[in-house]
Amino acid sequence: MSNLNQKQQQQIINIMDTLLEAADHFHSLVKQKELNQSIFIFSSIVEGFNVISNTLETTNMFSEHQFKEKIEQFLLQIAQYMEMGNFTKIAEMNQFSLLPQLKKLHQTISEEFGQTNANKIVKIGVFAEHNPLKFYPQPRVDAMVAESEKQQAKLFFFGSEDVDFTNEQIEADVCENGEWRVETYKGSIP
């Protein structure tokens, strides 16, 4: 189990998201045979993985899986192919070896930290000068709420009169399972 606090866990997830985006971008650059930009983005991938690797060493996550060794091996092979200028092999290694392994690591980390997308609820504020519930047609509100539930999102309806800057809180109308209630949030909507 992880001994990282929630903020550290979120930072690791964010770095993993960025790593996956960088690996996708790296693949595009390699296909276009952009060596200089490929080298730059590849070094960022290596640095990002090192940060994750060093942090996860403390969690025993790598002891159960062979992610670290495999990814390090793929990174080394890609670096060697880059030295040779073999763009075909670089693209092949990235697409069929590195990217799938990074995706597996991302999935494992998300599950370990309890942050799988299936459990993640997106929160959306519906804001206007006056609370939109006062002037939106009821069928529109019902449709928005129904669609938000399908998309695993939670809507918060509030107007400027519901924002208390002095106490740093928001009072918002929320509908869950057909039940409307007012919720108060300190700071911001979590």
Q: Where are the beta strands (DSSP E) in the chain?
A: 122-128, 153-159, 163-164, 169-176, 179-186
SS3 state of residue 157: strand
Q: Which whole number is the average pLDDT over 121-137?
A: 87
Calculate the alpha carbon distances from 159 to 53, 90, 129, 162, 183 in Å. 45, 53, 5, 5, 13
- As a whole number, the mean pLDDT across the chain is 86
Residue 67 pLDDT level (bands cut at 50, 70, 90): confident
**Contact predicate 185/170, CB 8 Å:** yes
If you compute the radius of gyration of the chain from its CA atoms, what whole number of angstroms results? 23
Distance CA 4, CA 63 (A): 16
Output the pLDDT for position 57. 80
Q: What pLDDT score does 47 carry? A: 94
DSSP β-bridge partners for residue 170: 163, 185
Q: Are the C-beta atoms of residues 127 and 94 closer than 8 Å to each other?
A: no
Q: What local confidence, expressed as pLDDT, does residue 60 receive?
A: 67
State the pLDDT at residue 164. Answer: 87
Distance of CA 184 to CAs 158, 160, 161, 164, 170, Å? 11, 14, 13, 10, 6
- Average pLDDT, stretch 61-84? 86
Q: Round to whole Å and give the CA distance between 59 and 51.
A: 13
Letter for the amino acid at 1? M
* Confidence category of residue 113, pLDDT binned at 50, 70, 90: confident
Residue 75 near residue 52 (C-beta atoms within 8 A): no
Decide: pTM greater than 0.85.
no
Query: Does the structure show a pLDDT above 50 at 59?
Result: yes
